[in-house]
């Protein structure tokens, strides 16, 4: 490959001591050593670098020889050793040349090189292909990365189609980096994604999940979803959401349901369960849409259908079960309206079955939903009234679950002389019901008293 003439610029980067010591040791022994990748990029745009990586002309064997036991083989096949310095580790990777990719995921062979330019040429984006020489205090820029940093552009190194064909994950990385950094994607690079979108099928669900979560937790989740939609990546990652493009957000809204979902996601705090719930809260609508007698569109039971669709989508992306439960509960309950005639006991039961965290999260989803429909930022009158009632019953004392009862299944079995079985659970529920009505009943004395009352009743 012919490379353009590299630019070498005098710039000082404050590299942590442990990193410069390791690079210095390599340099003292006649090897080239550069800080590369995310750290250089992040430092130059004023973000705090997370991990400092070194690329070197030293082969893995040579790195091992030089650093002995402090060089841990963490990715030796790809030329990476983690060199420890105190409790910090720096990944030292031998210069590589791009190998051939036949699966769009991993190079078939790794070819080491003695040349920095080979190494930066295999990197994904120009802003990730900058290399810093600590001793010289110079940044080597082979592909115009400095200009792209200044213009805040994500641009593939070389031909985007080729690069995305080699490794399809790069398509998601482009979008994720753009929204994390507040950059745009260059038109050619975006065009490459739009052309090769279906190759994303070769990427494992775990890696898609990781990039998707980072997009959603970024400052611009909406922009990420728009890029994904525009390039058709969304059709592969979350087809359920793509399907929302043809449905109106609301019977009188000019927005499509896709736009509404994206806005809701943008208007909720960056916690993954909330961002996912807001993004997916209405995905049951396309399947349930039907006009009523007056011709107005209705979406009967879309919250339950949506919860199930979300469950299968998040399963497909291999999200953890506990997170899936949280998201689907929020979707299932997002249409919840509170009936003002509900008794305190009824409210306690709701707090009990949903959990207080879910209730507060539901209010957040409701607010995001309303804001994205153009209302003022509030969870709405009904939800607010419900939250007021919840506060009231919480003030009266803690809300109990069966686990909080001061008697347990063994007490029940003993008092009633019954064996283990569903009857025990039913009796505990009965006790809980009484305690929800009157929290002061939750003492051993009074509950055992009630149990002996039940035993007498049964004996008669
Ligand atoms: P972050 O650490 O914030 O995710 P990063 O750019 O440092 O961003 P890493 O995954 O740590 O990402 O990768 C370090 C460097 O390795 C990148 O800056 C880039 O130069 C290169 N790189 C990572 N993934 C790829 C890839 N799929 N194709 C080509 N180069 C890559
Ligand atoms: Mg990194």
Our mutation pick for probing the ligand 1 site, out of 36, 38, 176, counting the most ligand atoms within 8 A of Cβ, is 38
Q: What is the mean pLDDT of residues 224-248?
A: 96
3-state secondary structure (DSSP) of residue 9: strand
Annotate 116-135 with DSSP letters as a single string: HHHHHHTSSBGGG-EEEETT
Q: Which of 103-117, 380-394, 431-445 has the lowest mean pLDDT?
A: 103-117
C-alpha span between 433 and 349 (Å, rounded): 8
- Taking 70 as the threshold, does the pLDDT of residue 389 lie above it? yes
Q: What is the mean pLDDT of residues 164-192?
A: 97
Q: How confident is the model at residue 134 (pLDDT cuts 50, 70, 90)?
A: very high
What homologous superfamily is domain 7-151 in, according to CATH? Beta Polymerase, domain 2 (3.30.460.10)
Q: What is the mean pLDDT of residues 147-155?
A: 98
C-beta of residue 56 within 8 angstroms of C-beta of residue 31: yes
Closest CA to 205 of 316, 324, 280, 309: 316
- Taking 60 as the threshold, does the pLDDT of residue 1 lie above it? no
- What's the confidence (pLDDT) of residue 455? 92
Question: Over the chain, what is the mean pLDDT?
Answer: 94
Task: Determine the distance from the C-alpha atom of residue 356 to the mean position of all C-alpha atoms in its chain, rounded to a whole number.
Answer: 23
What spacing in Å lies between the alpha carbon of 93 and ligand 2's midpoint?
13
Ligand 1 site, residue 167, Cβ cutoff 6 A = yes
C-alpha span between 24 and 34 (Å, rounded): 10
Q: How confident is the model at residue 139 (pLDDT cuts 50, 70, 90)?
A: very high
C-beta of residue 409 within 8 angstroms of C-beta of residue 418: no
- Taking 60 as the threshold, does the pLDDT of residue 76 lie above it? yes
Task: Determine the distance from the C-alpha atom of residue 341 to the mean position of all C-alpha atoms in its chain, rounded to a whole number.
Answer: 39
Q: How confident is the model at residue 282 (pLDDT cuts 50, 70, 90)?
A: very high
Q: What is the mean pLDDT of residues 10-30?
A: 97
What spacing in Å lies between the alpha carbon of 40 and ligand 2's midpoint?
10
- What's the confidence (pLDDT) of residue 141? 97
Ligand 1 site, residue 170, Cβ cutoff 6 A = yes
C-alpha span between 213 and 221 (Å, rounded): 9
Closest CA to 156 of 118, 117, 127: 127
Helix pair angle (257-266, 221-230), 10° resolution:
150
Q: Which residues contact 10 (CB under 8 A, 6 or more apart)?
A: 137, 138
- Taking 90 as the threshold, does the pLDDT of residue 242 lie above it? yes
Ligand 1 site, residue 128, Cβ cutoff 6 A = yes
Question: What's phi and psi for 417, nearest 5 deg?
Answer: 50, 50
What spacing in Å lies between the alpha carbon of 51 and ligand 2's midpoint?
5
- What's the confidence (pLDDT) of residue 194? 98
Q: Which of 42-46, 152-156, 273-277, 419-423 has the lowest mean pLDDT?
A: 419-423
- What's the confidence (pLDDT) of residue 3? 65
* pTM (global) more than 0.75: yes
* Buried-exposed string 404-418: b where 16+ CB fall within 10 A, e elsewhere: ebbbeeebbbebbee
Q: Which ligand is nearest to the CA of 37?
A: 1
Closest Cα to atom 5, ligand 1: which residue? 38
- What's the confidence (pLDDT) of residue 204? 96
Tokens standing for 255? 């927005």
C-alpha span between 27 and 25 (Å, rounded): 5
Enclosing H/E stretch for 221? helix 221-230
**pLDDT-above-70 percentage for the chain:** 98
Which CATH entry fits the domain spanning 260-399: 1.10.3210, 3.80.10, 3.40.462, 1.25.40? 1.10.3210
Ligand 1 site, residue 166, Cβ cutoff 6 A = no
Q: What is the mean pLDDT of residues 324-335?
A: 98
* Buried-exposed string 31-55: b where 16+ CB fall within 10 A, e elsewhere: bbbbbbbbbbbbbbeeeebeebbbb
Residue keyed to tokens 């482009």 = 174
- In the DSSP assignment, the letter for residue 192 is H
What spacing in Å lies between the alpha carbon of 93 and ligand 1's midpoint?
13
- What's the confidence (pLDDT) of residue 423? 94
- What's the confidence (pLDDT) of residue 246? 87
Three-state secondary structure along 401-432?
A: CHHHCCCCHHHHHHHHCCCCCHHHHHHHHHHH
Q: Which ligand is nearest to the CA of 128?
A: 1
Would you state the CATH architecture of domain 153-237? Orthogonal Bundle (1.10)
Q: What is the mean pLDDT of residues 395-404?
A: 82
Ligand 1 site, residue 50, Cβ cutoff 6 A = yes
Report the helix count and the strand count for the chain, using DSSP H and E.
23, 14
- What's the confidence (pLDDT) of residue 221? 98
Q: How confident is the model at residue 2 (pLDDT cuts 50, 70, 90)?
A: low
- In the DSSP assignment, the letter for residue 157 is S
Q: How confident is the model at residue 249 (pLDDT cuts 50, 70, 90)?
A: confident
């Amino acid at each position: 490959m012919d490379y353009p003439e590299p630019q070498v610029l005098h710039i000082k980067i404050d590299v942590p001591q442990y990193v410069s010591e390791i690079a210095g040791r390599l340099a003292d022994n006649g090897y080239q050593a550069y800080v590369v990748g995310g750290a250089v990029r992040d430092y130059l745009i004023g973000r705090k670098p997370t991990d400092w990586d070194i690329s070197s002309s030293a082969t893995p064997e040579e790195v091992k020889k030089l650093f002995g036991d402090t060089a841990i083989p963490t990715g030796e096949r790809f030329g990476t050793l983690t060199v420890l310095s105190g409790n910090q580790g720096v990944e030292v990777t031998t210069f590589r040349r791009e190998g051939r990719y036949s699966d769009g995921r991993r190079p078939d062979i790794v070819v080491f090189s003695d040349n920095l330019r080979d190494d930066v040429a295999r990197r994904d984006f120009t802003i990730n292909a900058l290399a810093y020489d600590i001793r010289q205090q110079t940044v080597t820029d082979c592909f115009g990365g400095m200009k792209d940093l200044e213009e805040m552009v994500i641009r593939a190194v070389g031909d985007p189609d080729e690069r995305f064909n080699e490794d399809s994950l790069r398509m998601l990385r482009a979008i994720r980096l753009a929204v994390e950094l507040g950059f745009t994607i260059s038109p050619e690079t975006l065009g490459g994604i739009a052309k090769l979108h279906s190759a994303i099928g070769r990427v494992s669900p775990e890696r898609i999940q990781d990039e998707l979560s980072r997009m959603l937790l970024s400052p611009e989740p909406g922009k990420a979803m728009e890029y994904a939609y525009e390039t058709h990546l969304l059709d592969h990652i979350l087809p359920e959401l793509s399907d929302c493009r043809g449905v109106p957000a609301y019977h009188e809204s000019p927005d499509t349901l896709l736009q509404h979902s994206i806005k809701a996601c943008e208007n909720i705090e960056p916690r993954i369960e909330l961002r996912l719930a807001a993004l997916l809260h209405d995905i049951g609508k396309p399947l349930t849409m039907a006009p009523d007698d007056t011709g107005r569109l209705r979406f009967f039971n879309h919250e339950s259908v949506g919860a199930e669709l979300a469950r299968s989508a998040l399963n497909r992306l291999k999200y953890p079960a506990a997170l899936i439960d949280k998201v689907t509960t929020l979707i299932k309950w997002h249409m919840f309206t509170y009936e003002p005639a509900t008794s305190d006991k009824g409210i306690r039961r709701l707090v009990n079955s949903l959990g207080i965290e879910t209730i507060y999260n539901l209010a957040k989803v409701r607010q995001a939903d309303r804001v994205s429909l153009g209302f003022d930022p509030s969870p709405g009158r009904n939800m607010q009234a419900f939250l007021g009632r919840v506060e009231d019953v919480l003030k009266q004392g803690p809300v109990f679950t069966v686990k909080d009862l001061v008697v347990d299944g063994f007490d029940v079995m003993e008092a009633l002389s019954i064996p283990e079985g569903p009857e025990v659970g039913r009796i505990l529920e009965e006790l809980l019901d009484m305690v929800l009505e009157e929290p002061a009943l939750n003492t051993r004395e009074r509950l055992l008293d009630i149990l002996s009352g039940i035993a007498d009743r049964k004996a008669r």
